[in-house]
Amino acid sequence: MNEISIGLLGLGTVGSGVVQIIENHQDKLMHQIGCPVKVKKILVHDLKRERAIKVDPSVLTTDVNDIISDPEIDVIIEVMGGVEQTRVHLLQALKNKKHVVTANKDLMALHGAELLTVASENNCDLFFEASVAGGIPIIRSIVEGLSSDRITKMMGIVNGTTNFILSKMSKNGAAYEDVLKEAQDLGFAEADPTSDVEGLDAARKMTILATLGFSMEIALDDVSVKGITTITEEDIQYGKQLGYTMKLIGIAQQDGDKVEVSVEPAFLSDAHPLASVHDEYNAVYVCGEAVGETMFYGPGAGSLPTATSIMSDAVTVMKNMQLGVNGKSAVPPQYPKKLKKPKEMFSKHFLRLHVSDETGVFAEITSLFAENNISFEKILQLPVKKREVAEIVLVTHHASKQDFDDVLVRLNDLKSVKTIKSSYRVERGSHQ
């Protein structure tokens, strides 16, 4: 093969990084693949727009068919985002025998199974390492590095925006709204941050990780999702007093043949490796029966880190082309999907209440927990400036989600309970 031609869909932050790597690392690519690699066409919205990098104007096009229907283009790299229209383009590209590399987590979470099937039918590669955790090679590690192991749990900080916000809230004692504005000003948060702060972005990534890690076809609707918008400075400060750090955590856990997948704010023991992951960084903690505990850490976004993951996939595709083994790597899910019920999901729980400051109230509350087989690991009881109101902060021992949710319903019915201020999952430290 004299040359491998790439078609690039999108020339934003990540697309520019891809072009930079191909241009600046051509000697490395030549050594790995055995021939030159060239970007033949790039799809853009506006031909005249000023760009961060210089490209030959003749390479740019606004017509996607100039790329997906060009017989000389071997590999398509998709970094333009979007779901439905992008799905149509990539399906057509695969049917036209183009190999595809994408960074599109939304697309892969919703339509990954369909795209992988079509890729396999057409003997094409479809890789998507950059769709989860930017520059961290987590998908390759799960699919290849841990392929012989049985993964029991994956737990990660997979959204840099929310980690930046929670890190700042914790460090500076600042309010959520103030830190969100700072994140937007710095470019870490979008003008509309909903996808990030409500946990949807992380949920899409956990859908992909759970499907691959457990070899089960997990859907986005199977993920329980809660965002960070209701977290207060008080919650974070109480957590600190108890030895915890607040993070938005994606959790995928398998016990026996059943799994649970969630994204939610959780208190991590300060001893947990993920508790020390700050600002916009990502990390994924993976437990396997054979390997034990491993953690993957690095930049979760950014032009060159993400482009590095994309080009890692592209190099694999191009090596496969030289070997004539494209389309052989996709492995369909091995197991039928079995989701846990709430009574089968266990964790510790943090709970903060405002109650009447009267004799017998605490006994009434502890009795209610005892009736649901829930005991306490930690308790704080503090007066509130408002007269006749006390604040109680509890951390339970391991309890089922069903039992804990039942207690919350019953607490709401007690006259002595003024307000349930907050409740969060609590994750213990490593080896605890």
337, part of any domain: no
Q: Identify whether the C-beta of residue 233 lies closer than 8 Å to the C-beta of residue 174.
A: yes
Please state the φ and ψ torsions of residue 57, each to the nearest 5 degrees. Answer: -55, -30
Q: Give the model confidence (pLDDT) of 121-174 as tens digits.
A: 999 999 999 999 888 999 999 999 898 999 999 999 999 999 999 999 999 999
Q: Tell me, what's the pLDDT at 187?
A: 80
Residue 52 binned pLDDT confidence (cut-offs 50, 70, 90): confident
Give the Cα separation of 20 and 15 in Å (integer): 9
Range name among 15-24, 213-222, 380-389 with the lowest pLDDT average: 380-389
Q: Are residues 294 and 166 in the same domain?
A: yes
SS3 category, 24: helix
Residue 338 — left, alpha, or beta (φ > 0 → left; ψ -120 to 50 → alpha)? beta
* 176 pLDDT above the threshold of 80: yes
Q: Are residues 195 and 287 in the same domain?
A: yes
Q: Are residues 34 and 126 in the same domain?
A: yes
Q: What is the C-alpha radius of gyration for the chain, rounded to an integer number of angstroms?
A: 24
Give the Cα separation of 384 and 352 in Å (integer): 13
Q: Tell me, what's the pLDDT at 249?
A: 98
The CATH number of whichever domain residue 217 belongs to comes to: 3.30.360.10
* 429 pLDDT above the threshold of 70: no
Q: Are residues 388 and 314 in the same domain?
A: no
| Mean per-residue pLDDT, 344-348 | 97
99, part of any domain: yes
Residue 307 binned pLDDT confidence (cut-offs 50, 70, 90): very high
- Smallest CA-to-CA distance from 45 within 10, 77, 5, 78 is with 10
402, part of any domain: yes
Q: Are residues 228 and 263 in the same domain?
A: yes
330, part of any domain: no
Range name among 44-53, 196-205, 314-323, 422-431 with the lowest pLDDT average: 422-431
288, part of any domain: yes
Give the Cα separation of 291 and 316 in Å (integer): 25
Q: Tell me, what's the pLDDT at 430?
A: 55
Q: Tell me, what's the pLDDT at 431?
A: 47
Q: Are residues 252 and 357 in the same domain?
A: no
∠ at Cα 256 (250, 261), nearest 5°? 20
Residue-averaged pLDDT of the chain: 93
| Mean per-residue pLDDT, 244-263 | 97
| Mean per-residue pLDDT, 307-334 | 91
* 11: Cβ contacts below 8 Å, ≥ 6 apart: 19, 42, 43, 44, 51, 55, 60
Q: Tell me, what's the pLDDT at 328?
A: 85
Q: Tell me, what's the pLDDT at 369?
A: 96
* 358 pLDDT above the threshold of 50: yes
334, part of any domain: no
Active site residue ranges: 205
Element (H, E) at 60: strand 60-61
* 3 pLDDT above the threshold of 90: yes
Residue 298 — left, alpha, or beta (φ > 0 → left; ψ -120 to 50 → alpha)? left
Residue, of 190 and 84, whose pLDDT is higher:
84
* 387 pLDDT above the threshold of 80: no
Output 325-329 pairs: Cβ under 8 A, ≥24 positions apart.
Answer: 326/99, 326/123, 326/124, 326/125, 327/119, 327/120, 327/122, 327/123, 327/124, 327/125, 329/125
Q: Tell me, what's the pLDDT at 317?
A: 97
Q: Give the model confidence (pLDDT) of 278-299 as tens digits.
A: 998 999 999 999 999 999 999 8
328, part of any domain: no
Q: Which domain holds residue 232?
A: 147-299
Q: Are residues 201 and 275 in the same domain?
A: yes
Q: Are residues 118 and 34 in the same domain?
A: yes
Q: Are residues 363 and 380 in the same domain?
A: yes
Q: Are residues 273 and 164 in the same domain?
A: yes
* 432 pLDDT above the threshold of 60: no
| Mean per-residue pLDDT, 371-392 | 88
| Mean per-residue pLDDT, 349-361 | 93
Q: Tell me, what's the pLDDT at 300?
A: 82
432, part of any domain: no
The CATH number of whichever domain residue 18 belongs to comes to: 3.40.50.720
DSSP conformation class of 290: T
Q: Give the model confidence (pLDDT) of 405-417 as tens digits.
A: 999 999 999 999 9
Q: Are residues 123 and 109 in the same domain?
A: yes
Q: Are residues 313 and 357 in the same domain?
A: no
Domain total in the chain? 3
